Amino acid sequence: MDVWHRAKDALPGTLAHDDFNNRNVGFRPGVVVLDWELAECNTAHRDLVEMLTFVVPYAATRADIDWLVERHRTRLAEMGVTAGLDRETWVEAFRCELKIEAINRIGMQCIFEAAFPLAYFERINANIERLLDLYG
């Protein structure tokens, strides 16, 4: 873990929602984000990976996902973020966060699923496996 976590450790921390998925995000005239009790200091990758795990379509290609990851990075730069945005480190940190998602978040969802059925469980489990296959 310490080998693949280094890229993420080198990045600056920011406010991360830590449950940023389609169940907690809505669109009105602007974006509305609900359910902040899991918020933490983390990297910008935390919420990106969570959202992708929940919403990436099965038909999405590696190029499609690469575009989303790159768009996230460039949008942060457009908003004035200057630290931690070099492409190589950014992608390595994304790959690290995918592994963390599989261990922490999907693991937690497995426990919940054992207690009561989750309508989204099969989708997020398949998505994280696919993302790990593409980027692992």
- 6-135 CATH fold: Aminoglycoside 3'-phosphotransferase; Chain: A, domain 2 (3.90.1200)
In total, the chain counts a number of residues equal to 136
In DSSP notation, 74-110 reads HHHHHTT--TT--HHHHHHHHHHHHHHIIIIIHHHHH
Higher pLDDT, 77 or 4: 77
pLDDT tens string 2-18:
888 888 888 999 999 99
